[in-house]
């Protein structure tokens, strides 16, 4: 099994981090600058990466989250930048029609942005997997209509009722950020979605995010995922930190990699491997370099 990080975009969060994360302090800022400088903008703001994950094995190709979407999408307008996921998939040697399964950790605008193209599922041959609790929360409202309704109409939407196996992966229901948020457990990493939106939440799990649906439940889910990472020695690859981290909030790479090398030329180009704990296979870093930022 291989996991490749697809960095759909990098953008500064539109609000000050101390507004987005109640309880934010100088200690949190100092730790982030020292441990995850790639998540700090030049002006001290919160710099987010928007990572999707491509999981390939003899079972096929699975895409976890679909990023912010193209220019003109809701997330692209919010963040003043456009995503590039289809291009990144091509550089990884996988076409959009070769994706067998799309797993959505949750249905927020920056995780489902490439779901649809011209009112049809962009990934025409994929089953889209969402937690039933997420669907119950969305109902038939505008988020469902924008990101899921065409998929359901095409017969490609699959609702799952909680934690359990999905082929050679494990789904872990981790509510709080949204009612049906889920993580994806692979042989390589725990693909954490927004179970932690900021790396400091791994160091301080009680640090909440303003836009979590239920902060207390989100904190519990965060603690459970950190405990799982500790037990298994598996890094957590969440959506917005620059790189995976351990249960002790230690980044699994000394620096974010920016230089491409052709690992499997000519169809599968990746950068150098990110160092993971010795008992854990390495997770491949982005297929294209993220914009340079202070490290």
CA separation for the pair 239, 112 (Å, rounded): 12
Average pLDDT over residues 152-166: 98
Q: Give the β-pairing of 60-64 and 101-103.
A: parallel
Task: Provide the pLDDT for residue 185.
Answer: 97
Of 3-17, 87-101, 243-257, which gets the smallest average pLDDT? Answer: 243-257
Q: Given a cut of 60, is residue 173 above it in pLDDT?
A: yes
Closest CA to 7 of 270, 275, 229, 222: 270
SS3 content of the chain, % helix, strand, coil (to 5): 25, 25, 50
pLDDT at position 253 is 62
Ranked by mean pLDDT, the top range of 91-95, 138-142, 271-275 is: 138-142
- Give the number of other Cβ atoms within 10 Å of residue 12's Cβ: 17
Distance from C-alpha of 96 to C-alpha of 4, rounded to nearest angstrom = 15
CB 252 within 8 Å of CB 246: yes
Residue 104 reports pLDDT greater than 50: yes
Residue 191: name the closest of 208, 171, 206, 213 by CA. 171
pTM: 0.87
| Residue 207 DSSP symbol | -
Omega cis (within 30) before 266: yes
């Amino acid at each position: 099994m291989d996991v490749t990080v697809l960095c759909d975009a990098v953008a500064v969060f539109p609000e000050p981090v101390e507004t987005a994360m109640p309880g934010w302090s100088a200690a949190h800022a100092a730790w982030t600058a020292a441990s995850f400088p790639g998540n700090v903008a030049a002006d001290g703001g919160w710099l987010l990466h928007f990572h999707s994950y491509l999981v390939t094995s003899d079972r096929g190709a699975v895409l976890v989250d679909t990023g912010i979407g193209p220019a003109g999408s809701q997330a692209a307008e919010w963040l003043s930048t456009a995503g590039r996921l289809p291009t990144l998939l091509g550089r990884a040697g996988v076409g959009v029609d070769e994706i067998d399964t799309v797993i959505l950790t949750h249905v927020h605008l920056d995780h489902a942005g490439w779901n649809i193209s011209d009112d049809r599922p962009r990934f025409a041959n994929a089953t889209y997997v969402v937690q039933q609790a997420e669907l119950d929360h969305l109902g038939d409202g505008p988020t469902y209509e924008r990101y899921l309704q065409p998929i359901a109409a095409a017969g490609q939407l699959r609702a799952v009722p909680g934690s359990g196996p999905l082929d050679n992966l494990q789904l872990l229901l981790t509510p709080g950020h949204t009612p049906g948020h889920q993580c994806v457990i692979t042989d390589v990493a725990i693909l954490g979605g927004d179970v932690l939106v900021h790396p400091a939440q791994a160091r301080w799990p009680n640090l909440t995010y303003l836009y979590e649906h239920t902060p207390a439940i989100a904190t519990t889910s965060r603690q459970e995922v950190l405990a799982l990472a500790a037990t298994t020695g598996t890094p957590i690859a969440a959506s917005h930190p620059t790189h995976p981290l351990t249960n002790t909030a230690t980044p699994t790479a000394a620096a974010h990699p920016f230089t491409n090398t052709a690992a499997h030329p000519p169809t599968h180009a990746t950068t150098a491997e990110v160092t993971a704990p010795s008992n854990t296979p390495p997770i491949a870093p982005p297929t294209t370099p993220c914009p340079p930022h202070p490290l």
